[in-house]
Amino acid sequence: MTQPLLALENVSIHFGNKRVVDNLNLELRAGERLALVGESGSGKTVTALSILRLLPQTRISGRILFNGENLVAKSDDALRQVRGADIAMVFQEPMSALNPLYTIGAQIAESLMLHEGLTRAQARVRTISLLERTGIREPERRVDSFPHQLSGGQLQRAVIAMALACNPRVLIADEPTTALDVTVRARIVKLLIDLQEQGLTRHNGEPMAILLITHDLNLVRRFAQRVAVIEKGKLVESGETETLFAAPQHPYTIKLINSIPVRNLQNVSPQAPLLLETRRLRVEYPKKRQGIAAWWGSDRFVALASANIELRQGETIGIVGESGSGKSTLSQAILQLIRSAAGEIEFEGAPLASLSKSRIRQLRSRLQVVFQDPFGSLSPRQTVSQIIGEGLALHFPELSAEQRYQRIAQVLQEVGLPLTALDAYPHEFSGGQRQRIAIARAVVLEPKVLILDEPTSALDVSIQNQVLKLLLGLQQKYGLSYVLITHDLSVVNALAHRVYVLKDGEIVEHGETEALMASPANPYTQALVQASL
């Protein structure tokens, strides 16, 4: 057995007196793809950042050996020569990892000039080549683009190009696909494997090793050769990917693998009351022309074209598609947050276009929404009691303070939170608990329809499964109807009775969920289903 390229020996990491990683032992060999798996707070990212000592406020004990040399004992100057050149990192959020004031090309070229001594002109040529190799179209033009001018998938490719600029021997990828659509996610995974196998990153004939940090088990199965599972800072299990998934030994690993959503829906009668219907719904925006063409007005960007959907009482419909497909536009139009939409929207038989603003405000108690980011959608200055009770005070002013408290306490218990949470603030809760608070805020108004905008995308797999079970339980208890906006087909398969597939603002396919997933007719739907496997 050859010597590992990267080895962590009895590594413990402390924040002050708190130990967040405990005696971790890990090995990564040249050309290997190793996944470090665990839920949020397990110590995955702290471990990855500590390899390059990017967390100066931490205290590290044990040894982190790269090519036989202890990185923990190296000086800051010596470590700077390793960062980027020998060990590079792809961060979870590419927009945060890039400087918004500099072009993509300038940021990639900086590493080449620093570590390889290239001139600015030479670095630009190499940068264009890297952008091309990572699959960015029109690299000669995109090299001069700023981060905000690129899509999420393009940004992640640019960050990968930056990490690979100096042909590192080890690439650490920290949740590199979390914020991406399923098809973009699949392309990024294939890109990393192709770059490794094609030899672009070889160092003296040695293929690059990749350490993947993730909680996405489908990604692990598709990408990794070996898996290491970490829980609360401790390594609990490791092994070959196929073996570990087929026969996990540790209870925590078993819990993670069993957290994949399972379909358990009650059938909805075709005669159930029709609550929500859109006909020929269309949303378009002016698109300003550039240069002299601006004198002749503006073009129109069609965000949504002639969307027809139906939702019955007790039913869940899934709206799926990639970013920019029109999913959020559709939900905003239904919520009357876009009043310029053309076409018809009927809720409980009433056309919404004919309602006044005051009537629309009254309607909002029966048509509620749960947003993707549970932290951003909750006021940090309000307690849980105030957050949940705010809608009650607005829509049900006839309730006494005691009646409002009883409703708040009841719904809090229904979403699985203790009454002690009433006087706490959002920052005191985990992501899954915050999403439960957001669901409680919506459900306390006893709505007929709940729009779920990516309700589980920011959550770990086990927490995601808990939230899905909660939503199913609430639906069965209250007869709620859900409009589920997502790009995660496993969530759609678990929660939705029917599904609509959106592409470039148009519904390209719709039907009963299981039938459509088993035999999609449209090539776009086929690509989505294949990418999610």
Q: How confident is the model at residue 156 (pLDDT cuts 50, 70, 90)?
A: confident
Report pLDDT for 187: 77
Report pLDDT for 368: 92
- Provide the token pair at 426: 């959002």
Report pLDDT for 297: 56
Regarding predicted confidence, which is higher, 216 or 307? Answer: 307
> Which residues make beta-bridge pairs with 367?
449
- The pLDDT tens digits for 38-80 are 887 788 889 999 999 998 888 999 999 999 999 999 998 999 8
Report pLDDT for 201: 58
Smallest CA-to-CA distance from 134 within 159, 114, 98, 104 is with 159
Regarding predicted confidence, which is higher, 181 or 254? Answer: 254
How many beta carbons lie within 10 A of that of residue 135, not counting itself?
A: 18
Length of the chain equals 533
Cα–Cα distance measured from residue 475 to residue 482, given in angstroms and rounded to the nearest whole number: 8
| pLDDT of 215 over the 70 cut | yes
Return phi, psi of residue 334, to 5°: -65, -40
Cα–Cα distance measured from residue 440 to residue 412, given in angstroms and rounded to the nearest whole number: 6
Q: Per mean pLDDT, which range of 178-187, 341-350, 389-398 is the poorest? A: 178-187
| pLDDT of 214 over the 80 cut | yes
Domains, the chain, ordered by start:
6-257 (3.40.50.300), 375-445 (no CATH)
On the 0-12 / 13-18 / 19+ scale of CB atoms within 10 A, 391 is: middle
Angstrom CA distances, 102 to 64, 91, 165, 508, stand at 33, 18, 17, 39
Report pLDDT for 288: 58
Smallest CA-to-CA distance from 492 within 504, 479, 502 is with 502
Report pLDDT for 449: 94
Cβ pair 105, 136 in contact under 8 A: no
Per residue, the 3-state secondary structure of 502-528, as one string, reads EECCEEEEEEEHHHHHHCCCCHHHHHH
Average pLDDT of the chain?
A: 87
Report pLDDT for 1: 53
Report pLDDT for 240: 96
Report pLDDT for 315: 96
Percent of all residues in the chain with a pLDDT value above 70, rounded to a whole number: 95
Cα–Cα distance measured from residue 193 to residue 33, given in angstroms and rounded to the nearest whole number: 9
> Which residues make beta-bridge pairs with 174?
213
- The pLDDT tens digits for 275-326 are 999 999 999 877 655 555 555 555 777 889 989 999 999 999 999 988 778 8
List Cβ neighbours of 456 (8 Å cut-off, separation of 6 or more). 435, 463, 464, 467, 468, 486, 488, 491
Q: What is the DSSP string of 449-506?
A: EEEEESTTTTS-HHHHHHHHHHHHHHHHHHT-EEEEEES-HHHHHHH-SEEEEEETTE
Report pLDDT for 22: 93
Cα–Cα distance measured from residue 46 to residue 14, given in angstroms and rounded to the nearest whole number: 10
Percent of all residues in the chain with a pLDDT value above 90, rounded to a whole number: 46
Cβ pair 6, 51 in contact under 8 A: yes
Residue with tokens 């073996």: 243
- The pLDDT tens digits for 347-390 are 988 898 888 888 888 888 899 999 877 777 889 999 999 999 99
| pLDDT of 181 over the 80 cut | no
Radius of gyration of the chain (CA): 25
| pLDDT of 238 over the 90 cut | yes
Regarding predicted confidence, which is higher, 339 or 328? Answer: 328
- The pLDDT tens digits for 440-468 are 999 999 899 999 988 887 677 777 888 88
Q: Indicate the helix (H) or strand (E) that contains 134.
A: none
